[in-house]
Amino acid sequence: MIVVTGATGTVGGHVARLLSAHHPTRVLGRSRGRLREAAPGADAVGADFADRRSLERALDGARALFVVTTDPSRPDHDENLLAAARTAGVEHVVKLSALAVTDEGATDLITAWQRENEERVRACGLAWTILRPRSFMSNTLSWAESIRASGAVLTPQPHSRNASVDPRDVAEAAVVALTAPGHGQRHYALTGPEPISPAEQCEHLAEVLARPVRCCEIPLERAYLSWARRYPEPIAQALLDSARRQGEGAKQHVDPAVEKLLGRPARSYRDWAKDHAERFG
């Protein structure tokens, strides 16, 4: 039995659907209804990262665990998952981290939290695999409303490049790590096939949608104010630091791990855009 967390979210959802087609799979989360909708082929169990006992029950009989957590103010979530995994006799933990942990200049809250999460995983006494993706291509879904409404994207640093990765490739890499031998005590840097800028992403979207998509630059300070309206201040600050690093070229490196793990090239942004065109109206 393989247990998947985050199955109502982006990467965990793909992982659960891929796994459940071939392996006994359980999805763990706060709403069984949402889990059943997201991963109909998996066994859905209610549990909360804040409640260790609920995690122990959900992990009963599990051989492997896929860990996705999202709240940098809650280090107890990863601690609880690892403690419950040990109690339940889980053999292998695959952890979704972030490639920023390898950037020396990355000292923001989210990256520091992921570094600590990785430390916990490496020290947990179980077999582990740490996946370190670059930014998800699906982050550009946040442009969909503005593209539908005005055919325009407002973004800071439109010509800064990021080797962003298709979350479906991240999920396929997770499935390999969870099911095939030889991936214990390994870190994998997961990137797309090339660094790409917001302006270039808009060009691909325009081609796929067969209508213009303008890419309009806004100052970083304005982007920060919009993040600060949506997120707590430390998260908005972390996003600002991250955007600055992208502007300095820190996120352009392409790693061959996706191709080596999956035996085919990483999906391009154009592939992603074609497959999600309907989301942009």
Ligand X SMILES: NC(=O)c1ccc[n+]([C@@H]2O[C@H](COP(=O)([O-])OP(=O)(O)OC[C@H]3O[C@@H](n4cnc5c(N)ncnc54)[C@H](OP(=O)(O)O)[C@@H]3O)[C@@H](O)[C@H]2O)c1
- Does 66 participate in binding ligand X (rule CB under 6 A)? no
Query: What is the end-to-end Cα distance of the chain in Å, rounded?
Result: 39
- Does 79 participate in binding ligand X (rule CB under 6 A)? no
- Does 195 participate in binding ligand X (rule CB under 6 A)? no
Please identify, among the stretches 25-33, 196-204, 232-240, 248-256, the one whose residues bind ligand X according to the rule CB under 6 A.
Answer: 25-33
Tokens for 150, please give them.
């005005």
Please identify, among the stretches 62-70, 79-87, 228-236, 273-281, the one whose residues bind ligand X according to the rule CB under 6 A.
Answer: 62-70
Taking CA 172 as the corner, what is the angle to CA 38 and CA 201, rounded to the nearest 5 degrees? 85
Q: Is-contact 2 66, C-beta < 8 A?
A: yes
- Quote the least distance from Cβ 50 to ligand X, whole Å: 5
Report which secondary-structure segment, H or E, holds 238.
helix 233-247
Please identify, among the stretches 29-37, 179-187, 235-243, 259-267, the one whose residues bind ligand X according to the rule CB under 6 A.
Answer: 29-37
- Quote the least distance from Cβ 215 to ligand X, whole Å: 19
**Per-residue buried b or exposed e for 168-198, using 16+ beta carbons within 10 Å of the residue's own CB:** bbbbbbbbbbbbeeebeeebbbbbbbebbbb
Where in 85-114 is the site for ligand X (CB under 6 A)?
96, 98, 114
**Total number of residues that touch ligand X (CB under 6 A):** 25
Q: Is-contact 155 223, C-beta < 8 A?
A: yes
- Does 198 participate in binding ligand X (rule CB under 6 A)? no
Q: Which of 43, 48, 60, 79 binds ligand X (CB under 6 A)?
A: 48
Tokens for 264, please give them.
């085919």
User: At which residue do the structure tokens 């502007």 appear?
Assistant: 247
- Quote the least distance from Cβ 135 to ligand X, whole Å: 4
Nearer to ligand X, 147 or 189 (CB): 189
Nearer to ligand X, 71 or 207 (CB): 71
Please identify, among the stretches 27-35, 194-202, 227-235, 237-245, the one whose residues bind ligand X according to the rule CB under 6 A.
Answer: 27-35
Amino acid at 32: R
- Quote the least distance from Cβ 261 to ligand X, whole Å: 16
- Quote the least distance from Cβ 127 to ligand X, whole Å: 20
C-alpha 148, offset from chain centre:
25
Beta bridge partner(s), residue 128: 93
Q: Is-contact 164 139, C-beta < 8 A?
A: yes
**Helix 233-247 and helix 220-230: axis angle, to 10°?**
150
Binding interface with ligand X (CB under 6 A): 5-12, 29-31, 34, 48-50, 68-70, 96, 98, 114, 133, 135-136, 139
